[in-house]
Amino acid sequence: MNVEKLLNELVNQKLQTQTRRHFLLECVSKMGGLALAPLLFGCELGKNGTLKTGLQLSDRDLNPLSPLPPPFLGKAKSIIYLHMAGAPSQLELFDFKPELAKYHDQDCPESLLEGRKFAFIRGVPKMLGPQAKFSQHGESGAWISDYLPHFSKVADEVAFLKAMHTDQFNHGPAQLFMQTGSPRLGRPSLGSWVTYGLGTENQNLPGFVVLTSGGKTPDAGKSVWGSGFLPSVYQGVQCRSKGDPVLYLEDPSGMSRDLKKQVISAINQSNQEDFENFVDPEILARINQYEMAYRMQIEVPEVMNINDEPEHIHQLYGTQPGEESFANNCLLARKLVEKGVRVVQLYDWGWDTHGTDHDGSIDMGLRNKCRTIDRPMTALLLDLKQRGLLEETLVVWGGEFGRTPMQENREGKKMGFLGRDHHVDAFTMWMAGGGVKKGASYGITDDFGFAGVDERTSVHDLHATILHLMGFDHERFTYEFQGRPFRLTDVHGELIRSVIA
């Protein structure tokens, strides 16, 4: 460790606050704050967490991740959200349309094209019948295709939303919309909202953990688990299922645990002095994050290690320790919520089936992709249930939009493989556990699966329902930013009461 370099950086940081440029900047940007400070909370901290004006800082101010009770009794205490980045085809998985098969390879009716805009389809495409075989399962009689033979066994545990719709047909904006309630950058993610509202039960682990598989991160990047205008302590912490779960988790050679504690204490003392000068809540978040990182070094290696799981659990999930996979991430998600983590988000990349190649085909590529998730996501539900965790854990599955009932034809030319274009008017998601009605199905699409004709649900409706199951009224759960209260559902959203137990 280069102590002299650290000291020089600290001196330079202090000197920067004494320049004329800094003074003029503060005059321009902070005059309003100077006038309001005496009215709000003054400028300096006193002893025992009080400001010199007398405002008492709460435990939540000093520890932003301290657990809080929800406004009303929610059924779920934690969330595991499984996002299939790229958008799986509902027509090959859950939305059975035998009528569509009769129109296979015929020209698409003009009524489906008039006034519509698609990401790639041009001209008049051919209709594409379902490429999977469907059958009914469980007492609920849910239609599930042969692409998901394991999942069909837990059909009675889930509630389907079959007429979901969105207004974004490109991956990046649609993923942002699905995860933050807005297609534009800058809004907090669903996981950040929940962690902000409830904190976390395990102070040695982040409240919001992100795991990725499929070889790439979502098209929208890390903004889909960002904290937006909420304090940064509420953003998702990305962990790895291969190698060290968190980079730089281990101390450098020669750095003892006691020395590390002294270094962090010194850093946080400097941060405390900055907070006394500027009263910036982001500094409190920074202090908390340093201390969290110190505590994580003890707990993370244990909770992120699946090697010690019994053999029957590895067989159940189909895990391979040491590999980055959706199966490993599902098992890690169970371990994390079992340890008190509030939100676990799994992103699996590779569901964009346009028909451009074998892997992107709707018949071969999608079937192979389903094999990677079918067993582990089924195991996740069974494992949570046998441990008594499913009743208090909300599991959500879906993509960012759906796929068209027409075969994709880029620039009016037939593709080399069977594929479907992006589609905003109809797609399927499911939820399980945490207050969800078992075996429910809500939403009906037309005979082609092109659009919802009854019980349509929006992204905002989904968010409102998730927050309700966690104990929040989505219309009252707000955060003041830029002079007005913001909420996850913006000014929209209705509860989907038919899927609430």
Q: pLDDT digits over 117-165, tens only?
A: 999 999 999 999 999 999 999 999 999 999 999 999 999 999 999 999 9
Of the pLDDT bands very low, low, confident and very high (cuts 50, 70, 90), residue 411 is confident
Of the pLDDT bands very low, low, confident and very high (cuts 50, 70, 90), residue 47 is very low
> Residue 191's closest CA among 178, 205, 173?
178
pLDDT at residue 243 in the model:
66
> Residue 153's closest CA among 327, 381, 427?
381
Of the pLDDT bands very low, low, confident and very high (cuts 50, 70, 90), residue 32 is very low
Residue 26 has pLDDT above 80, yes or no: no
Residue 476 has pLDDT above 90, yes or no: yes
pLDDT at residue 238 in the model:
93
Query: Helix, strand, or coil here: 233?
Result: helix
pLDDT at residue 481 in the model:
94
Question: Residue 451 corresponds to which amino acid?
Answer: A
Residue 33 has pLDDT above 50, yes or no: no
Digit-coded pLDDT (tens) for 292-307? 665 666 677 778 889 9
Spatial CB neighbours of 43, under 8 Å, sequence gap ≥ 6:
37, 51, 52, 276, 277, 279
Higher pLDDT, 290 or 329: 329
Residue 64 has pLDDT above 80, yes or no: yes
Task: State the Cα–Cα distance between residues 284 and 287, nearest whole angstrom.
Answer: 5
Largest CA distance in the chain: 77
Residue 378 has pLDDT above 60, yes or no: yes
Residue 240 has pLDDT above 50, yes or no: yes
- CA 413-419-420 angle, to 5 degrees, is 95
Task: State the Cα–Cα distance between residues 400 and 419, nearest whole angstrom.
Answer: 17
pLDDT at residue 40 in the model:
36
Phi, psi of 429, rounded to the nearest 5 degrees: -130, 165
Higher pLDDT, 96 or 42: 96
Residue 160 vs residues 145, 336, 455, 465: alpha-carbon distances, Å: 14, 25, 12, 13
- Taking the CA atoms of residue 317, residue 226, residue 354 and residue 89 in that order, the dihedral angle to the nearest 10 degrees is 50
